[in-house]
Amino acid sequence: MLRIGHTMDDFTRIGCPAGRSMSTLVEETVRVMREQLPPLLGDGYELRADQLDMAEMIARSLEHDGVSVIEAPTGIGKSLAYLVPCLLHCRRHNVRAVVATYTRTLQRQLARRDLETASRATGGGVEGVVLMGRGSYACRIAIARYLRQRRPARNLAGWLRNVADEPNSDLDSFAGGALYLDDSLRAAVSCPAREAVCRGCAERERCALVTARRRALAADVVLGNHALLFADRAVGGALLGHYDVLVVDEAHHLEDVATDFFTVSFGRRTIRGGPHSLWTADLDGAGDGVRAAGMSGGGDTGAGVAAAWHALQSAVAAGQDATDRFFRAIAGRLPDVASDRVPYAVGSPLFYDAGADVNAAGDALRTIATAAGALGEAAPAPGEGVPDYAGTFQVLGAQALETASALEFLAAGADEDYVFFVRVGPDGPVSLSAAPSM
Ligand code: SF4
């Protein structure tokens, strides 16, 4: 059963409204679906009435700048039903489209099969590219760190070096991905979760994520995912560029993705100790470079850089100590319930006596920002073989201030538009989080 509506509240059985004649896009869509698709898809393909209905409705929406909300069972061929009218519309009006899915599986199926089929059926001339989430691309900085610190076996090391040197592939599509990639390796070598980390990166010109994003900005059709839609809004459309048509497939997951995206968290490993922590091992290398530059400046410069580096190290340690004390304290006050989420609100007894640790962590984060600013100013200018140390420390400073604000917001637990909770793992409390209450 296919259900379609023009708005979320208007689900109706599809059909051409009485008295409205078929528009040109609708006619062309029907013609392509009936005449072009079957020979391309071979004997196993049969055009279904629901698939044709859906394609017609989408064509009509595109012609009239409308919105269609469609619920359909698996197996009717939804992807081609929206790709065909979208590609026809994009080519006619020289406009761009974004298709957002929830699962990587569907994203890949669209990229490998359906987009190619729809493109051939509609006469070509429309370029489509896949843009995955950050976790799907290799980070050159993270791979270099992994090789340095973990010293993996020769085969894996060779694979990682090849991945790092290939800016035109995502991690999973790179030959050998199925053999080597597991969750832990992916977390260790993929792009850092926070966008800000990439801003000052000296490896941008050879980075797979940056390359994929540039291609997406130039493409007619971008196959992305739900999270990308929110990330794009958060950076003012810089990821996807302007687009006229949006298709959200697997849209029943969109609310959960939105909740995750807008959730604010501060965890046991936010400052140090995790792959996406504020302090990561590559900052040690940046520190070496800045201190060497400071030493070559001699006298006061060298002493100033050394003092800022010392302040930074001390603040990271103090912030982590305060965080550990805080999470140990609330672990002893969690109610004995079998849930991975324990709600709290302003004045919660969970935080009894924990104010000093929250303040200490916040102070440490602000000290990190100040010291990072001083190191950034002392850093040498980037150039051949010299990374952008100043950019790296500026990003660290901005992140530290953002983290301090998030911690204060979470500890207050007072915003009525958010639901506050402690996320609990097998070893105790993992983070304070606040999700928009929608
Ligand atoms: S731009 Fe970001 S993802 Fe790319 S190499 Fe640099 S830090 Fe890694």
Predicted TM-score (pTM) of this structure: 0.75
pLDDT at 3: 58
Phi, psi of 291 (to 5 degrees): -70, -35
pLDDT at 11: 38
pLDDT-derived band at 1, boundaries 50, 70, 90: low
Q: Ligand 1 centre from 122 Cα, in Å? A: 37
Kindly give the number of the ligand 1 atom that is closest to the alpha carbon of 142.
8
pLDDT (tens digit per residue) in 110-124: 988 899 999 999 998
pLDDT, mean over the chain = 86
pLDDT (tens digit per residue) in 270-309: 999 887 789 877 677 777 777 776 666 555 566 777 888 8
SS3 346: coil
Going across the sheet that includes 264-267, the strands are 264-267, 428-436, 418-425, 341-344
Kindly give the number of the ligand 1 atom that is closest to the alpha carbon of 138.
3
Of the candidates 276, 256, 255, 258, the one whose C-alpha atom is nearest the C-alpha of residue 267 is: 276
Residue corresponding to tokens 């997951």: 253
pLDDT at 159 exceeding the cut of 70: yes
Average pLDDT in the 21-29 region?
81
pLDDT-derived band at 44, boundaries 50, 70, 90: confident
Between residues 193 and 422, which one has the greater pLDDT? 422
pLDDT (tens digit per residue) in 73-85: 888 999 999 999 9
Tokens representing 147? 């090789």
pLDDT at 18 exceeding the cut of 50: no
Q: Ligand 1 centre from 140 Cα, in Å? A: 6
Cβ pair 166, 208 in contact under 8 A: yes
pLDDT at 14 exceeding the cut of 50: no
Percent of the chain scoring above 70 in pLDDT: 89
Q: Cα–Cα distance between 242 and 78 in angstroms, integer?
A: 25
Kindly give the number of the ligand 1 atom that is closest to the alpha carbon of 198.
2
Average pLDDT in the 193-218 region?
84
Least confident of 152-156, 277-281, 282-286, 338-342: 282-286
pLDDT-derived band at 12, boundaries 50, 70, 90: very low
Measuring from atom 8 of ligand 1, which residue has the nearest CA? 139
Q: Ligand 1 centre from 368 Cα, in Å? A: 22
Kindly give the number of the ligand 1 atom that is closest to the alpha carbon of 140.
5
Measuring from atom 2 of ligand 1, which residue has the nearest CA? 198
pLDDT (tens digit per residue) in 403-423: 999 999 999 999 999 999 999
Q: Which of 203, 388, 396, 399 to mutate to test the pocket of ligand 1 (most atoms within 8 A of CB)?
A: 203
pLDDT-derived band at 13, boundaries 50, 70, 90: very low
* Ligand 1-lining residues (CB < 6 angstroms): 139-141, 191-192, 197-198, 201, 203-204, 207, 209-210
CB neighbours (10 Å) of residue 427?
Answer: 8
Residues 176-180: contacts with CB under 8 Å, at least 24 apart: 180/156
Kindly give the number of the ligand 1 atom that is closest to the alpha carbon of 208.
4
Q: Which of 166, 209, 389, 399 to mutate to test the pocket of ligand 1 (most atoms within 8 A of CB)?
A: 209
Tokens representing 44? 């196993």
Least confident of 60-69, 91-100, 196-205: 196-205
Tokens representing 337? 């319930």
pLDDT at 22: 53
Q: Cα–Cα distance between 294 and 4 in angstroms, integer?
A: 65
Q: Ligand 1 centre from 43 Cα, in Å? A: 46
pLDDT at 64 exceeding the cut of 70: yes
pLDDT at 313 exceeding the cut of 70: yes
Q: Ligand 1 centre from 136 Cα, in Å? A: 12
Phi, psi of 175 (to 5 degrees): -50, 130
Q: Cα–Cα distance between 296 and 287 in angstroms, integer?
A: 14
Of the candidates 397, 405, 418, 410, the one whose C-alpha atom is nearest the C-alpha of residue 327 is: 410
Q: Ligand 1 centre from 379 Cα, in Å? A: 20
335 backbone φψ class: left, alpha, beta (φ>0; ψ -120 to 50): beta
Measuring from atom 4 of ligand 1, which residue has the nearest CA? 207
Average pLDDT in the 191-205 region?
75
Between residues 192 and 372, which one has the greater pLDDT? 372
Q: Ligand 1 centre from 223 Cα, in Å? A: 21
Average pLDDT in the 320-334 region?
91
Q: Which residues lie below 8 Å from residue 154, measured CB to CB, with a gap of 6+?
A: none
